[in-house]
Chains A and B, each alone.
Chain A
Amino acid sequence: MQNRTANSKQTTAGRSQVQPNTTTQQPRAPPQMVQNMARVTDPKHVPKDTRDQFLKKIHFCSQPYDFNDDTKNVKEKQERSQYLQELFDLLKEPNFVNNLVVPHLDLIIEMIEKNIFRPLPILKKTATNGEIGMEDDDQLIDPAWTHLQPVYEYFLQLIVNEQPDVKSLKIFITHSFIQEFLELFDSEEPREREYLKNILHRLYAKLVPRRKMIRKAINDCFYTLIHETYKFNGAAELLDILASIISGFAVPLREEHVIFFKTVIIPLHKVQTCQFYHEQLLRCSMLFLSKDPTLATFLVEGLLRYWPFANSAKEVMFLNELLEVLEVCEISKLEPLIPKLFKRLIKCIAGPHLQVADRAMCFFENDYFLTILKSYKPFTFPLLVPVIAQIADTHWHKVLQESLNALKTILKEIDYQAFDKALNTKDPKYLYIIQDAKNQKKDRQKIEEKWKNLTKQALQKNPNFKEPIVPYSDTHIVGEHNGLNNGNITIL
């Protein structure tokens, strides 16, 4: 026991004084039991006492204990650890597995369920009212973990073991088992999530008939994350598993998988806690795109649709992803997205956050992106040129100003005439992105006037008419976010 879990012990040092003197510990894997088993060839003729001993240990390990309190049931817990170790060692004896483990798989799975299926604790940093704003190191330790780890390890080895075949395992891996198992992924203990990930991965690999069910349960997990809870600790781990599942998909993709891409992978981007699993999400997305590049436009559309609001770190992540995804897109398919795409980029460049602006500028160093830009010149130039030209003169940050000027040169080099034409347009439509609220208001004046008239008419027609409440005024935060009140940029 002590040798095997040496690693996990180190991290929880000081907590696990469960075994003060275990010098009289039994030798690992009682040799007698193994010797007895070595002679057995037929599962029906396992010596009775060996079987009894085995069953007794399984039963003992199924007992629940309060693992949060180290002072309770010290002796039993110690014994339990020892049994688990023995059971674990016995998995290495093929004869034993065949004749005892496989026939009693029901009890073993029950033992595992009883141990790991538990309401997840909230890990408290300290039990007392700690001061708010204390150092925030990741010292979240589930005191029960030392006792859970051997069970997980056992489960993992059981699945890895080749002897329990698919048929006998399949019976136990039901829908409700998977659902409860997936709920554990919300655990705050990273080591637990790692085990869960490995086990689920192996289960998926091994139990071909259960694959569809497992995928569906994972979907439900993500739906919950997207539509209800907005936070799920195990999202990154689940996406890790998905990544390898996706790489196994046959080409062309089945419709079911395309739906999954559209209803799970894309909406996962909008979740507030996206940062925690973005790396894995990106990998899944790219794997999908490698199987079916036509999905790229949907992803671009999704990214533009769920563009982060007032979260610059997430914006940088989105920009990175956007560029990667664009490289997979077929240029001709992008047409409907071009206005939104370039407007978004301009907003990022003209926005108040330097890193975001910088990241957006990087797009223009990408050859494929420049090809897109050139292909849609009639649209992109009138949008880009006036705005870039203006902020190149006025931008507050020197380095960015330099690269804006460089960009101006690039655009000029691409097509001098178009550049000039765009620069000298009388009333550049998109300049409003970098204008302040006052100018914006002037532009809106005409249509606001019309609305006012219409409201008057409506009042005449129906004296009980109540004027509609318009949610966004020009001083509203949304306007600011869109660069409308952008104090960094002064307009002549």
Chain B
Amino acid sequence: MSENPFEVLKEDMENEEVYLKVNAMHRVKVVATLLGSDKIKSQLIPYFETLLKKEDDEVLFALAEELGNIAQIIPNQSSCLLSLLEQLAGFDETVVREQAVKSIAIVCGFLGDNDIANTIVPMIIRLASNDTNFTCRVSAVCLMCPLYARAGNQKEKIRQKFTELCSEETPMVRRAVATKIGEIAQFMDKIHVIQDLIPVLKQLCQDEQDQVRLLCMESLMNIAKILNSSENKTNILPLIIQSAEDKSWRVRLALSKIFADLAEAVGKEIADSSLIQIFSNLLKDTECDVRVIAVRSLARFIKFVSPEKLNLIVPLLQLLSKDPFSQVKQYACEVIGQIATLLPKEYSQSKLQQYLIDLMADDNQDVRRNAAKSAGQFAAAIGPEALNQFVPFLKKCMDDPKWRVRKETMQTIIQLALTVKNPDVFNKQLESVFVMFLKDRAAEVRSMGLIQLPALIATYKQDWAIGNFLSKCIETLSKDVGSLYRINALYAIQQISFAVDGPIAQDKLWPIVQKCLKDPVPNIRFVSIKVAKSLQKKIDNQQTLNQIKQSINELLEDPDRDVKFYAQEALQN
């Protein structure tokens, strides 16, 4: 019972399989708990030191993680782990380094502000000044962010070192700085951000490597968040303008990606006065990938500018909806749908409607799909008068050769029906499109209609369900179409049965089902059994109930095994 935990660990680490050693390493927590802080210091840490030189990266990765866990066991003395972690932070292997940095942050969580200033800051500076190993400097940059806030009177030293590293010759370090500059800014006083960080950010934004400039974009946004409008105008806006004209399309793409967030960060005023113009250029970029990403951001961007400025974007949308690259058009559809909810009705109707209708007939199926989707949003925003225009085209979309387009259209129709809530409009315009799901040749589309049926019945009531709709179902059932269609119609009848009263179920629905119980296709027979079962629950009339029972009973002798099974099941309950 009384094994020495340290010996067990050592024994397991003797194993030659790396994965077993990794496992053992993850159990260090157990050992550390049992050993207590003194022995951790005197036994465990010296042992780990020996591992650093000889172990595989995988094991060291586990070690770096576990050191963070040990820190939680001995919170008051966790600084003894720092020397190990410092070494790991300078390792070649990226994952080991990163994990070590994380664990150092955990250790720092247990340290007092004094310790931070006296031990951690010198450690960071030491790492940052290591000229032979760029990995140390990268780790130092990563450590500066979480610890800056607690560095007390040493803050200046860190700031100085950070800005120093921005002019590094090694591109890896510059890339690390470019990624982190936005993060560290969150912890700094505004005055330092403007005095110290903005100049180096400017410098990084003009870096010779496009990779560095690209990484600056996210940081740019983060810094914009902490500055006020006028500070943004003088400091950030010139950088945005410059990046939007960057010669590397990768930078322009990165900027396009965050443009909406950037607009949110700098505020409405700048967004209105300057960003729309800059963004327009990105939307017209020569590189199609930039346009794709830009138009994707556009859908969010329009929420952050004043509605009255939106008319500047409309002409762009007209351009984008004719873009030679189909992905651009695909996302342009979404924007048209969105923007219609923000613009005055007449304006979007006169300027955009035709474009959307054209997109519904595009060559590319993804464009058609998104157009159908946006058409719903558009029509809902404009109101019933727009439906007149759209319904013929939606109907056309239901004849699309691609089922994905039809599915999206079906969804749109249903959404419209549910938002309009106007029986007149529904009966006149939408219903005829909706019932097309009964005859669609793709199961996806058919089940789409089926799933939404209860919601529609709830909105348009029993009258519609047992009136027009039921007659369509009967039509499908009676016509000699494929059995899958008939099954679908049967399930639709089941849905109706949930919503109607007993007498109606008895008079209108049961006769249909009764007929289906004698269908030549076995699958239809057992689906009918299921539907009959749900009818049973509704109907009170004993005579009809007996009839149902009788009919199912007959099927106990059915030649098909599955039909027999369902018949039995139905009679048991």
B33 touches A472 (CB 8 A): no
Q: Which 6 A-B pairs have the closest CB atoms?
A: A119-B248, A458-B33, A472-B19, A478-B19, A176-B208, A470-B23
> Given the complex of chains A and B, what is the CA–CA distance between A455 and B9 in angstroms?
12
A468 touches B27 (CB 8 A): yes
Q: Which of B5, B56, B134, B324 contacts A454 (CB 8 A)?
A: B5
Which residues of chain A are near B12, meaning CB under 8 Å? 447, 451
Nearest CB of chain B from residue A112's CB, rounded to whole Å: 16
A-B contact count (CB 8 A): 104
A305 touches B134 (CB 8 A): no
Instruction: Let me know if B479 is at the binding interface, CB within 8 A.
Output: no
Stretch of A222-230, A292-300, A317-325, A406-414 on the interface side: A222-230
For A118, A119, A263, the residue with the greatest tally of chain B CB atoms inside 10 Å of its CB is A119
CB-defined A-B contacts under 8 Å, sample of 23:
A118-B247, A119-B210, A119-B247, A119-B248, A127-B324, A128-B326, A227-B135, A228-B94, A228-B175, A263-B92, A267-B92, A340-B16, A343-B16, A450-B8, A451-B27, A454-B34, A457-B34, A458-B34, A468-B28, A469-B26, A470-B23, A471-B22, A482-B17
> Given the complex of chains A and B, what is the CA–CA distance between A272 and B209 in angstroms?
24
Nearest CB of chain A from residue B6's CB, rounded to whole Å: 10
Which residues of chain A are near B248, meaning CB under 8 Å? 119
Which residues of chain A are near B228, meaning CB under 8 Å? none
> Given the complex of chains A and B, what is the CA–CA distance between A7 and B478 in angstroms?
72
> Given the complex of chains A and B, what is the CA–CA distance between A319 and B35 in angstroms?
44
Nearest CB of chain A from residue B373's CB, rounded to whole Å: 19
For B20, B22, B26, B209, the residue with the greatest tally of chain A CB atoms inside 10 Å of its CB is B20
Whether A470 contacts B172 in the complex (CB less than 8 A), given A223-B134, A454-B8, comes out as no
Nearest CB of chain B from residue A214's CB, rounded to whole Å: 13
> Given the complex of chains A and B, what is the CA–CA distance between A476 and B57 in angstroms?
19
Which residues of chain B are near A175, meaning CB under 8 Å? 169
Give the B-binding residues of A (Cβ under 8 A): 66, 118-119, 121-122, 127-129, 175-176, 179-180, 183, 220, 223-224, 227-228, 263, 267, 305, 339-340, 343, 444, 447, 450-451, 453-455, 457-458, 461-462, 465, 468-472, 476, 478-479, 482
Instruction: Let me know if B250 is at the binding interface, CB within 8 A.
Output: yes
B289 touches A122 (CB 8 A): yes
> Given the complex of chains A and B, what is the CA–CA distance between A305 and B20 in angstroms?
16
Nearest CB of chain A from residue B170's CB, rounded to whole Å: 6
B325 touches A455 (CB 8 A): no
Nearest CB of chain A from residue B389's CB, rounded to whole Å: 29
**B interface, how many residues as a size bin?**
35 or more
Which residues of chain B are near A179, meaning CB under 8 Å? 171, 208-209
Question: Contacts A340-B16, A451-B27, A465-B29 given; 8 further ones with Cβ under 8 A?
Answer: A127-B325, A175-B169, A224-B172, A453-B1, A458-B30, A462-B33, A468-B26, A478-B19
Nearest CB of chain B from residue A64's CB, rounded to whole Å: 9
Q: Which of A223, A339, A457 contacts B172 (CB 8 A)?
A: A223
Nearest CB of chain A from residue B136's CB, rounded to whole Å: 13
Nearest CB of chain A from residue B255's CB, rounded to whole Å: 13
Whether A220 contacts B172 in the complex (CB less than 8 A), given A267-B92, A454-B8, A455-B30, comes out as yes
Which residues of chain B are near A305, meaning CB under 8 Å? 56-57
Contact mask B168-180 → A, CB, 8 Å, 1/0? Answer: 0111100100000
B208 touches A451 (CB 8 A): no
> Given the complex of chains A and B, what is the CA–CA distance between A180 and B209 in angstroms?
7
Which residues of chain B are near A339, meaning CB under 8 Å? 16
Which residues of chain A are near B519, meaning CB under 8 Å? none
Which residues of chain B are near A476, meaning CB under 8 Å? 19
B26 touches A227 (CB 8 A): no
Nearest CB of chain B from residue A228's CB, rounded to whole Å: 7
> Given the complex of chains A and B, what is the CA–CA distance between A66 and B27 in angstroms?
61
Instruction: Let me know if B286 is at the binding interface, CB within 8 A.
Output: yes
A220 touches B289 (CB 8 A): no
Q: Which of A66, A220, A453 contacts B171 (CB 8 A)?
A: A220
Instruction: Let me know if B316 is at the binding interface, CB within 8 A.
Output: no
Instruction: Let me know if B560 is at the binding interface, CB within 8 A.
Output: no
> What is the chain A residue whose CB lies nearest that of B246?
A119
Nearest CB of chain A from residue B233's CB, rounded to whole Å: 29
Nearest CB of chain B from residue A335's CB, rounded to whole Å: 14
Which residues of chain B are near A267, meaning CB under 8 Å? 92
Q: Which of B29, B56, B134, B171 contacts A468 (CB 8 A)?
A: B29
Which residues 1-48 of B sit at the A interface, judged by CB distance below 8 A?
1, 3, 5, 8, 11-12, 16-17, 19-20, 22-23, 26-31, 33-34
For A66, A457, A469, A479, the residue with the greatest tally of chain B CB atoms inside 10 Å of its CB is A457
> Given the complex of chains A and B, what is the CA–CA distance between A478 and B18 in angstroms?
9
> Given the complex of chains A and B, what is the CA–CA distance between A462 and B31 in angstroms?
12
Which residues of chain B are near A451, meaning CB under 8 Å? 8, 12, 27, 30
B209 touches A183 (CB 8 A): yes
B364 touches A129 (CB 8 A): yes
> What is the chain A residue whose CB lies nearest that of B3?
A450
A482 touches B172 (CB 8 A): no
For A122, A127, A454, the residue with the greatest tally of chain B CB atoms inside 10 Å of its CB is A454
Instruction: Let me know if B249 is at the binding interface, CB within 8 A.
Output: yes
> What is the chain A residue whose CB lies nearest that of B31?
A454
> What is the chain A residue whose CB lies nearest that of B133?
A263
Nearest CB of chain B from residue A460's CB, rounded to whole Å: 10
> What is the chain B residue whose CB lies nearest that of A446?
B11
Which residues of chain A are near B94, meaning CB under 8 Å? 227-228
> Given the complex of chains A and B, what is the CA–CA distance between A476 and B17 in angstroms?
13
Which residues of chain A are near B208, meaning CB under 8 Å? 176, 179-180
Q: Which of A129, A176, A465 contacts B326 (CB 8 A)?
A: A129
Nearest CB of chain A from residue B290's CB, rounded to whole Å: 11
For B8, B34, B175, B326, the residue with the greatest tally of chain A CB atoms inside 10 Å of its CB is B34
